[in-house]
Amino acid sequence: MTDLEINHNIFENIKHIDELGREYWEARELMPILEYSKWENFHRVIKQAIVSCENSTSKAFDQFPEVRKPIVGGKGNIQNIVDYRLSRYACYLIVQNANPRKKSVALGQTYFAIQTRKMEITEKEYSSLTEEEKRFYQRNLTRKGNHSLNIAAKNSAVKNFDKFHNAGYKGLYNGETANDIAKRKNLNYREDILDNMGSDELIANLFRISQTEQKLKKDKVQGENNANQVHYDVGKKVRKAIADIGGTMPEALPTPDKSLKQIEKENKKYKVLD
């Protein structure tokens, strides 16, 4: 499988919709895409993902329903083999437990992390988190989101990624670039602005990131200038949505006293993903 063949579309192309309109993936179709040739090896990954699901308080049966699939064996005999109808969250857990050295697995980790409609934690669990924990949670999502957005931007022929990302910031922050935001926050040179945002500000940026990625892909945007304009327009629409509901503009939100990197150094239970 070449780098060109390993793209997000391969995961969408094998997606199924059941009679109730729910999406699912079949494990035996996902297996070769993730570069596993033997069911026994892939089945072990599935079992590890099921354990992860149970540890996250989700019901594994709902995410990994087992099905029997008839196949024609030797001499025309019909056998029933084990398969799974995987939810998007189940696929996410599988790629998290799969061999990260496989390029398609790394891509799947990005794809299912950003596209999933099933959160890793429930709303009730999220509401019980401290502000610091919410910041780490949202920062990890924005990190994964930016990785996925960069892939979509590259496919749209973007080469100057600083200019591309600044276009989004300008739309969301009423003309401010990343450098302008850093200066306003009194950050040191090259200090990550996202590591110095509260959870609400990170959520606004995550919405900007995810919606830009979706529009670039859905509209098949081509050309660097067009992609930059899309990012700016999406950022501006997110800003308008905040204004329409009477929310606080992102530049008016307080900057936390400590960056996430600083908190991470002081408390090893936290982790900002690389």
The per-residue pLDDT for 22 is: 75
For the chain, how far is it from start to end, CA to CA, in angstroms? 26
pLDDT tens across 165-178, in order?
Answer: 999 999 999 999 99
User: In the block, which residue shows the tokens 């040739």?
Assistant: 37
Paired strand residues for 69: 81
The per-residue pLDDT for 103 is: 79
- Is the model's pLDDT at 130 over the cut of 80? yes
pLDDT tens across 24-82, in order?
Answer: 899 999 999 999 999 999 999 999 999 988 876 567 888 999 998 887 766 767 888 99
In one-letter notation, the amino acid at residue 72 is V
pLDDT tens across 77-122, in order?
Answer: 788 899 999 988 899 889 988 987 887 887 777 677 655 543 455 5
CB-based contact 168:181 (threshold 8 Å): no
For the chain, what is the radius of gyration of the CA atoms? 21
pTM reported for the whole predicted model: 0.57
User: If we measure between CA atoms, which residue out of 260, 268, 254, 262 comes closest to residue 139?
Assistant: 260
The per-residue pLDDT for 121 is: 56
The per-residue pLDDT for 18 is: 75
The per-residue pLDDT for 74 is: 65
The per-residue pLDDT for 222 is: 97
Token pair, residue 128, equals: 């019980």
Q: Region 218-245: what's the mean pLDDT? A: 94
DSSP state of 120: S
